[in-house]
Amino acid sequence: MNVKIITVLIALTLAACGGSGSGRGSSAGTPDPDPGSGGTAEDTAQLRVLSNRPDMVSAGDVLVEVVLENAAAVEGLVLTRNGSDVTSVLQATPDNPLRLVGVVDGLAVGDNTLSTNVGNDLTVVNHPSGGPVFTGPHIQPWECQDTAADEDCNQQVEYKWLYKSSNPLNGGLLPYDPEAPPDDVAMTTTDTGETLPFIVRQEIGYQARDQYTIFTLQKVGEDWTPVQPQSQWNGRLLVTHGGNCRGDHDTSSPKTDDYSGTIPGNPLIDQSYITALSMGWSVLSTAQLNLGHNCNLSYQAESLMMAKERFIEQYGELRYTVGTGCSGGAITQNMIANAYPGLYQGLLTTCTYPDVMSTATQFADYHILLRYFKTNMNDPALLARDGTLFTVLQQNEVYGHLNGIVNASVADSALFAEAVDPASSCGGISDEERFDQDTNPGGARCDVLTFMQNMIGQREQFPAEDQLRDHWSQIEKDLGYAFSGFPLGNEGVQYGLIPLQQGLLTPDQFLKLNTNIGGLDPSLNVTAERLKPDYPALPNAYRTGILNTVVNMDTVPIINMTGPDPGIAHDSVHGYWVRWRLEREFGNRDNFVHWGGLTPLIGDLTYMSQSLIAMASWLDTIEADTSDAPLAQKIVTNKPASVQDQCSGVPGQMCPDELMLVFGTPRTQAGADKYGDQVQCQLKPFSRADDYGLGNLVWQEADWQKLEQTFATGVCDWSKKPLAWQPTIPWLKYQDDLGEVIIGGEQMTPADFPAGWASPAFSKTWVPGWQ
Helix (H, G, I), strand (E, B) or coil at 420: helix
CA dihedral 233, 173, 292, 267 (to 10 degrees): 120
Calculate ∠ Cα 362-368-372, nearest 5°.
135
Residue 148 pLDDT exceeds 80: yes
Distance CA 647, CA 656 (A): 9
Rg of the Cα trace of the chain?
28
Asked if 511 and 703 count as a contact pair (C-beta separation under 8 A), the reply is yes
Helix (H, G, I), strand (E, B) or coil at 479: helix
Residue 5 pLDDT exceeds 70: no
Q: Which of 10-14, 45-49, 96-100, 332-336 has the lowest mean pLDDT?
A: 10-14
Identical fold, 3-127 and 233-355+546-650+731-762: no
Among candidate residues 355, 323, 367, 137, the one with its CA nearest the CA of residue 245: 355
Residue 344 pLDDT exceeds 60: yes
Residue 77 pLDDT exceeds 70: yes
What phi, psi does 309 have (nearest 5°)? -60, -45
- Using the Cα atoms of residue 459, residue 462, residue 464 and residue 470 in order, give the sign of their dihedral: negative
Of 73 and 466, which is predicted with more confidence?
Answer: 73
Distance CA 112, CA 106 (A): 10
Q: What percent of the chain has pLDDT over 70?
A: 92
- Using the Cα atoms of residue 423, residue 427, residue 429 and residue 431 in order, give the sign of their dihedral: positive
What per-residue confidence (pLDDT) applies to 704?
Answer: 98
- Using the Cα atoms of residue 413, residue 414, residue 415 and residue 421 in order, give the sign of their dihedral: positive
Q: Which of 192-206, 220-234, 511-525, 570-584 has the lowest mean pLDDT?
A: 511-525
Estimate to the nearest angstrom the gap between the alpha carbon of 663 and the chain centroid. 25
Beta bridge partner(s), residue 599: 603
What per-residue confidence (pLDDT) applies to 525?
Answer: 84
Give 227-257 pLDDT, tens digit per residue: 999 999 999 999 999 999 999 999 999 999 9
Q: What pairing do the DSSP bridges indicate for beta strands 91-93 and 84-85?
A: unpaired
Most confident of 64-73, 375-384, 730-739: 730-739
What per-residue confidence (pLDDT) applies to 33?
Answer: 33
Mean pLDDT of 203-225: 97
Q: Which long-range contacts (CB under 8 A, 24 or more apart) does 528-532 make?
A: 530/489, 530/490, 530/491, 530/492, 530/493, 531/364, 531/368, 531/486, 531/488, 531/489, 531/490, 531/491, 532/471, 532/489, 532/491, 532/680
Mean pLDDT of 514-536: 91
Give 438-479 pLDDT, tens digit per residue: 999 999 999 999 999 999 999 875 444 444 456 688 888 889
Asked if 65 and 28 count as a contact pair (C-beta separation under 8 A), the reply is yes
SS3 content of the chain, % helix, strand, coil (to 5): 30, 20, 50
Distances 322 to 135, 143, 241, 366, 600 between C-alpha atoms, Å? 23, 31, 11, 34, 24
Distance CA 298, CA 247 (A): 13
Q: Which of 68-82, 110-124, 300-314, 542-556 has the lowest mean pLDDT?
A: 68-82
What per-residue confidence (pLDDT) applies to 736?
Answer: 94
Predicted confidence band of residue 770 (pLDDT cuts 50, 70, 90): very low
Mean pLDDT of 178-195: 96
Helix (H, G, I), strand (E, B) or coil at 110: strand
Q: What is the DSSP letter of 531?
A: P
Predicted confidence band of residue 368 (pLDDT cuts 50, 70, 90): very high
CATH class of the structural domain 233-355+546-650+731-762: alpha beta
Mean pLDDT of 371-389: 91
Distances 156 to 148, 206, 211, 255, 768 between C-alpha atoms, Å? 9, 8, 11, 21, 38
What per-residue confidence (pLDDT) applies to 470?
Answer: 63
Mean pLDDT of 260-281: 85
Distance CA 241, CA 322 (A): 11
Residue 40 pLDDT exceeds 70: no
Give 726-757 pLDDT, tens digit per residue: 999 999 999 999 999 999 999 998 877 899 99
Show the DSSP H helices in 605-720 as ranges. Answer: 607-623, 631-637, 657-660, 695-698, 701-710
Mean pLDDT, the chain, whole residue set: 90
Residue 265 pLDDT exceeds 90: no
Helix (H), strand (E) counts: the chain: 20, 29
Distance CA 735, CA 127 (A): 13
- pTM of the complete model: 0.93
Q: Which fold has domain 3-127?
A: Immunoglobulin-like (2.60.40)
Beta bridge partner(s), residue 596: 562, 647
Burial class (CB in 10 A: 0-12, 13-18, 19+), 737: exposed
- Annotated domain spans of the chain: 3-127, 233-355+546-650+731-762, 358-540+671-716
Q: Which of 104-118, 143-157, 416-430 has the lowest mean pLDDT?
A: 416-430
